[in-house]
Amino acid sequence: MDISLDDFHNWWIYFLTRPNRSEMISMTESCREIPIKDIAPEGISPETVMSWSRDYYGPKELRERIIESQSYEDLTTDNVIVTTGTNEANMLAALAALDAGDEVILEMPQWMQGYAVCKHILRAQIKMLYLKEENLWKPNVEELKDLVTPKTKLIWLCHPNNPTGSVLDQNEMRAICEIAEDCGAWILQDEIYRNLEWNNVVSPSAVNYYDKSITAAGLSKTLGVEGMRIGWLACRDKAFVEKCNAFRIYSTLTTNLLGEKLATIALQPKKFKELVEAGKRIGRTNIKLVDQWIREHNGCISWIPPGGSYNTFPKYHYNMKSLEFCKRALDYKIIFTPGGAFPGGEGHIRLGVAIDTESLEQGLRRFDAFLTSLKQI
């Protein structure tokens, strides 16, 4: 099969391999990085035997913790598979839901995996549902109605959204599910940033609203444990989950034991809330800081404050492509992700606030110097 990397990943490979990267401040971080001791103060016992769980869906206790901590309604452990991150959950769901030539609707901008999987691996017919700044980066339900046809097999969402931070409310989720139900389409929602809502109302999980909804989620972003590689897939349709599991058996077979153990501890509902809140405290401080900074740079830069996630998607008021903007920013030792790496995102940058406040302040000072160097429109 042919495949090519999208502009998002090409950009990441580009900046990760800059010779002076260690001197740079990443202003595009989408998650924190916490130590094992924040989850398990005593660490992992060296006596731990490195076997697998002998359950293809992942350890049952972990699946129980997922259902409880995420407030998934009417699900049993047969509705959940533990996966190697949210990314794998997205992939399995797409393989199980789609065939070559099927029509799929992708919200854009969003995490670029859906586009690549649908285009290169599944060879599906892609239609874009563009999120627009004037609509607070939320999907326009009327536009979605116009896009779907009886051939639409899947609607792929991502909220809290990467890169814009937009969050759906219950009514919006219901309206989207009704449209999907009318045409018989699956909904796949990438919920990797769920629980990171800045109004403290946990956003709707697709799996709670519609029988043909698939939730793909994980701990990487909410807790700051990307190296743990623990995510999950949940769906009310057990036959669909079983099908996803078959695809997993032929790809990664099972998740990693130490990640499973740490996740089982981290997802104790009280512990989970505490860990999420620890991150959100930093996020709130940082968002306030950036908001103040943007107000002070009125005319150069503007934004829709994020509803959730550590991602924000400011618009810069300079007449240049986002890739050029971000390459120039590297000269000032600050890293953003070009908005143009996401369809519908040109003219923006993805600014992530998941770094410590001191580094963010230093980064904003560098950003100041960078903007000063640019000729304002």
List residues near a copy of itself by CB under 8 A. 1, 3-5, 9, 13, 16, 33-37, 40-56, 84-85, 87-88, 91, 95-96, 98-99, 113, 116-117, 120-122, 224-229, 243, 246-247, 249-260, 262
Nearer to a copy of itself, 13 or 201 (CB): 13
Nearer to a copy of itself, 60 or 127 (CB): 60
Q: Edge-to-edge, what's the strand order for the sheet holding 80-83? A: 80-83, 231-235, 213-218, 186-190, 152-158, 103-108, 125-130
Nearer to a copy of itself, 85 or 340 (CB): 85
CB of 142 to a copy of itself, least distance (A): 31
Residues 6+ positions from 26 with CB-CB distance below 8 Å: 335, 352, 355
Q: Which two tokens stand for residue 229?
A: 């590689």
Q: With CA atoms as reference, report the closest residue to 310 among 282, 274, 273.
A: 282
| Cα gap 251→231, rounded to integer Å | 15
CB of 39 to a copy of itself, least distance (A): 8
CB of 111 to a copy of itself, least distance (A): 10
CB of 92 to a copy of itself, least distance (A): 9
Exposure pattern of 313-336 as b/e (b: 16+ CB <10 Å)? Answer: bbbbbbeeebbebbbebbebbbbb
Residues 6+ positions from 336 with CB-CB distance below 8 Å: 27, 28, 325, 326, 329, 349, 350, 351
Nearer to a copy of itself, 176 or 192 (CB): 192
Give me Rg for the CA atoms of the chain: 20
CB of 351 to a copy of itself, least distance (A): 19
Nearer to a copy of itself, 122 or 304 (CB): 122
CB of 56 to a copy of itself, least distance (A): 7
Nearer to a copy of itself, 120 or 321 (CB): 120
- Contact (CB, 8 A) for 147 and 105: yes
**Number of C-beta neighbours around residue 86 at 10 A:** 27
CB of 182 to a copy of itself, least distance (A): 24
Nearer to a copy of itself, 21 or 273 (CB): 21
